[in-house]
Structure formats: C-alpha cells, structure tokens
Amino acid sequence: MEDKLVTLAIRTYTRAQMIKSVLEENGIDTVIHSLNLEQPGMDVGVRVRINQKDLPRALKIVEDMESAWEEKKDVTTVSHVLIPIDFGDQIPKMIDFGFYFADILAVEVVFLYAYFSPAFTISMNNDVSTYSISDSELLRRIISTANNEMELLGNNIKKRIVNGELPNIPFRFELKEGVPEDQILDYCKKNNPALVIMGTRGKKIDNEVIGSVTAEVMESCVSPVFAVPVQMQLKTPEEIQRVAFLTNFDQKDLIAIDRTISLFNSGKLEIFFIHASEKNEAWDEVMLGGIKSYFSNHYPTIRTHYALLGNSYSPEIIEEYMKEKNIDVLAFNTRRRRLLSRLFNPGMAYKMVLYSDIPLFVTHV
C-alpha cells in the first residue's frame, strides 16, 4: 500500500468495518485507525483511510452504500429533531431552524412541552398554613390550555408549510408532566433525537429561567444541541457561513467537527479553530499546525482559520473574538458532568448560554 493515506470517513468501528469490507471487494486497499490512542478499545469512532489515488472512486462507493443503508432503515428507528417549547416569543425562530435542520437530516420534527402539575395548594386559616392536594380541575385546565396552544401552533405551522415558508416536514407534539430540563433529558435518553433545538435569552435579558434550562440540557444531553438566542443577528439558517470551533486538541474533537461540518456545510462554510490557554505553550502551536494540515488535506473545499487566544476560556475573550470575526455559530464538544461538578464549576456551555447572543452548537462525544 502506498504511504500517502487520506481519511475517507470517520465512523463507528462496526460501520467502518463494513465500509472496509466493501471497498476491498472493489480492489481498494483500506486501513482503520482508532481516534482514541490512549484507549484504542473504546468505541468513540475510527478513521477509514485509503490511498489518495483511490479517493474519487471510494467516495462514490461509500455514498452509494450509505444511501442504501438509509433506505433500508425501519421507520420506527428514524430519528428526529426535538424542539422543547414553552409557547414563548422564541418559538418562530426555533421553528425556522428546527425545520431547516430536519430537512437537511431528512427526519421529522417533534415538539415537547413539559408542564408543572399543581401537587399542592396553600390556604391560610387563623394565621396557620395548611397544605392540601389541589383538585383535579386545575390540572385539567393546565392540560387543556397546553393542548389548545399546541393546536394553534400546529395550525400555524401547516399554513406556513402550505405557503412555502417552511419545508414540508412531518411534525408532532409530545406533552409531558414534570420539570422541563428533567423531562427533556429523559426524553433524549430514551429517544435519542438527531438534534435538539432550544432557545436562550442571552446576556441582554437577565435572570430568565429559559437560559438555565437550556444550559442544563446542553451540559448533560446525549444528543447534539443547537441554542437559538432571542437577540441573535441571524435572520435565517441559510445565513450560517462562519462557524467557530473551540478545540482542546482532544481526538474526540475530530468526530464533533465532522458532525458540525455535516450540519452546517452549505457550500460556503468557513471554520475558525480556536484554542485558548493561559500559557503560551509551543506544543499548542504544533497541535494547531497539525489540525491545519489535516483539514487542508481532508476538507479542501472548506476555508479554515486558526487562532491561539492568550487567555483561558472566558466568555468575554471568546465573545470579543467572535464579534471581530463576524462568527455566526460557536461550536464545541463537551463532556457530560455530574450535578455537583456543574454546580460548583459551570462548564463552557453554561457560561456561553448565559452570556452570548451568538447561536451555540454543542456535542457530547
């Protein structure tokens, strides 16, 4: 096999083995390299690598293979875009982005509304507080109101589809009882949506519950999350062209970057790789140079830029850089953390949700 190898795709180990088998049946030498060099046995994704001269033919073979796999999928396993809602003022923007990405991913849209049930009411009698279980009528009214809101929203979406304002994507509603962030995370764990679209208030509106709910979901969700700030400058999803990606030079970033490119690559995509460190390490320059070389070889049609920020990952530094470069979306990979860790040391997702007015795309690889 020639020494000049290129990465054809990054897939799960099982899928990579299937691709390797078919390529070799077609006379294309193929090797598989693990992305996790520290623990090669951990299934976080692997590179499928081939000789550069075989790239055009291999791309066509893999494209045909994966198209066939998609057609053979059972309809019960087809994923969806999840849009948690509270019937607030951000719903139109969330719908626009949700249907846009659902069209790209060829999946349906599911709206999830979580409501609180009035478990207890408080009454005063002779200055003594007594607690009694609330009657079922109040709960019935809450559910009835939610159903009416969903019906109105559904009718509005149907009109927009008929008018050509939204792609003709199937959609449905789910109504759940409980705390919103708990219900969203539980739903994602059980149903594994391809993408979650949520709203944030950003830095211009303080102390909003919606910001903390979105931040909590982004820190813990098993699915990728796209956060839509109410004050963002983007008018339509088609305007997304300049995406910044925060990297710690973790090998799992390669999978997260691949997901980012798949979702946002409309033919005019530019990616700005950012690494921030309090120390000016020579190794950072080497690693960033490696990323630059990797992308020039494997994503030649995508314009890339690279920056080492001389500070830690603070929202202020990142926000300043994004404004300077007119960034449309900030993307990064983050690890799910335990509750106490999130309480005493909020992660980047939490900080940026409550600080930035730029849309965020967060994955957990």
- Asked if 302 contacts 295 with a C-beta cutoff of 8 angstroms, the reply is yes
In this predicted structure, what is the pLDDT of residue 138?
72
State the pTM of this model.
0.69
Architecture of domain 78-228: 3-Layer(aba) Sandwich (3.40)
Contacts (Cβ under 8 Å, ≥6 apart) of 101: 81, 195, 197, 226, 237, 263
CATH (one of 3.40.190.290, 3.30.420.40, 3.40.50.620, 3.40.50.11540) for 233-363: 3.40.50.620
What single letter denotes the amino acid at residue 177? E
Handedness of CA 136, 138, 141, 142 (dihedral sign): negative
Tens-digit pLDDT string for the chain (365 aa)? 445 788 887 776 677 888 888 898 888 998 887 654 433 333 445 678 888 888 888 888 888 887 766 555 444 445 899 999 886 656 888 999 999 999 988 999 999 998 776 554 444 444 444 444 455 677 777 778 888 888 999 999 999 999 999 999 999 999 888 888 888 999 998 899 999 999 886 444 444 444 578 888 888 888 999 998 877 878 888 889 999 998 876 767 778 888 888 888 777 889 898 877 655 555 566 677 777 777 777 788 888 888 877 666 677 788 888 889 999 999 988 765 444 344 434 456 667 776 678 899 998 86
218 burial level (CB within 10 Å; 0-12, 13-18, 19+): buried
Whether 112 and 85 have beta carbons less than 8 Å apart is answered as yes
